[in-house]
Structure 1
Amino acid sequence: MIEFHCLSDSEQLAEAAARQVLVAAEAAITARRRFRLVLAGGQTPLATYRRLAEMSAEWGHWEVFFGDERCLPQTHPERNDQAARLNWLDRVPIPPQKIHPIPAELGAKTAAARYTDLIQGHLPFDLVLLGLGEDGHTASLFPGHPSDADALVIPVYDAPKPPPERVSLGPRALSNCQSVLMLVSGQGKRQALARLRAGEDLPIARIRPRGQLLILADAAAWG
């Protein structure tokens, strides 16, 4: 069951999202002494990451994974892991060995195989963060784009937006979690969010966590 909440603006969205992440972290650490978090790429989550960088948490118990990555050189500024490091991860004491970037610089096929081997021993995740593209994509799962429904990690070729080669967790891996938090901001996402609210078969509809799937949107996206 998808639950929608509308926030007044992007700042309120980032604050609410950061609080949701911390609540999930506290619950997971209390229950299991670790918090396994999957990060979203794109621009919308960056404000949330900057909020988290200013907050206190038991960072030593956090373990970070990525929902998707672009097949670009390891330190390319347009990679999702580099943006997360710049805005958050390099500013808090999460142990480096507990941050698991997708090795997308190796190419989609090799990176997908290696990340599959990695995450198999770390499932289920506690919280998965996702975004929503203007075309309705989430992670690097694009509407109408072929993918292997059984694969934990999917090599993506000929993506509808650049770069064409990517790596993405598949619906099977993204669903293997306690909860999902999707962040949607900006007027450019309004049509995609309306399609989602109307029940259209977008990739997010195939992601079914064990618990809550919460979508936080700002008023510009909500319309």
Structure 2
Amino acid sequence: MYQDKVALVGGALGLVLEQIKQAIAQRGQCSLVLAGGSTPKPLYEALAQQDLPWEKLHIFWGDERYVPPTHPDSNEGMAREAWLDAVDFPAANIHGMPTSAQDPQKDASRYEAELREFFGVSAGEFPVFDLILLGMGDDGHTASLFPQTAALEVCDRLITVGEKSGQPRLTFTIPLINQGRCVIFMVAGANKQPALQQVFAETADPVAYPSRFIQPQGELWWLLDEAAGTVLKSFNNLVIE
């Protein structure tokens, strides 16, 4: 647990750099999935200051609002502004979610096909990303997997269509996230406390708090600032650092 958001971002930067370097050393490249929202933006700005072999990084997104990358609500647009367009990043290594078909289901299928081609996996198989960054909303959602929505039930696809307030979003499915070698949640703010209590409770409904569904085969890290994480100090089954 970190004292504040600045310290949280610093801790996340160290962990992300470690995972990137490990992936490159072991597999020659790193597949990195970015999150949207305000919490990871300073992390992306910090990554832009690093001296990394950009040609060995491949960037993906775990979810996207159904808007063009130039729209102010675009997750891709935010990451480009904060990081990707600020360094000499190869355009071919940036794998944004398509949002131009005027049909979210069609674009979800297009992105799934791109992932299958990139990783060389056939239907029925799930690729393994090196590093997946996630946030959590105050309702317990992550990516665009919102409480009580049909996207939570999709287990045979890589990408599906989520929705919030009637607005479609493209999103990784739960089983795709859970194939990750390393999944990192970044959560900040006192408004996240009620959801965190339910996510870490011994028993709770994951359909109501979808972040509970995220149990990857690899490492799982929850990076919290004190405003968010202090509520977990009373949980006897957790080690809070």
TM-score by length of 2: 0.85
| 1:210 CA drift (Å) | 2.3
Q: How many residues align?
A: 215
List alignment gaps of at least 5 residues for structure 2: 120-126, 231-241
Q: Does 1:214 align with 2:210?
A: no
Q: How does 1:159-170 map to 2 (within 5 A)?
A: 159-160=164-165, 164-170=167-173
Structure with the larger RCO, 1 or 2 (CA within 8 Å, 6+ apart): 1
Moved more, 20-29 or 206-215: 206-215
- 1:51 is aligned to 46
| 1:82 CA drift (Å) | 0.2
- 1:109 is aligned to 105
1:186 aligned to which of 182, 189, 206: 189
- 2:234 is aligned to none
**Aligned counterparts of 1:21 and 1:156: Cα–Cα separation in 2:** 27
- 1:134 is aligned to 138
List alignment gaps of at least 5 residues for structure 1: 1-5
RMSD across aligned C-alpha pairs, in angstroms?
1.4
**Aligned counterparts of 1:127 and 1:187: Cα–Cα separation in 2:** 26
The one-letter amino acid of 1:212's match is: E
Q: How does 1:24-35 map to 2 (within 5 A)?
A: 24-35=19-30
Q: Does 1:149 align with 2:144?
A: no
- 1:3 is aligned to none
Q: Secondary structure in 2 aligned to 1:183?
A: strand
Q: Does 1:93 align with 2:88?
A: yes
- Is the contact made by 2:8 and 2:223 (CA closer than 8 Å) also made in structure 1? yes
- Is the contact made by 1:74 and 1:105 (CA closer than 8 Å) also made in structure 2? no
TM-score by length of 1: 0.91
| 1:208 CA drift (Å) | 2.8
The one-letter amino acid of 2:90's match is: P
**Aligned counterparts of 2:223 and 2:69: Cα–Cα separation in 1:** 31
| 1:150 CA drift (Å) | 2.0
**Aligned counterparts of 1:73 and 1:105: Cα–Cα separation in 2:** 7
Could you tell me the percent identity over the aligned residues?
A: 36
| 1:73 CA drift (Å) | 2.8
Q: Secondary structure in 1 aligned to 2:167?
A: coil
Moved more, 130-139 or 112-121: 112-121
**Aligned counterparts of 1:53 and 1:19: Cα–Cα separation in 2:** 14
The one-letter amino acid of 1:190's match is: Q
- 1:197 is aligned to 200
**Aligned counterparts of 2:48 and 2:193: Cα–Cα separation in 1:** 28
Structure with the greater alpha carbon radius of gyration: 2
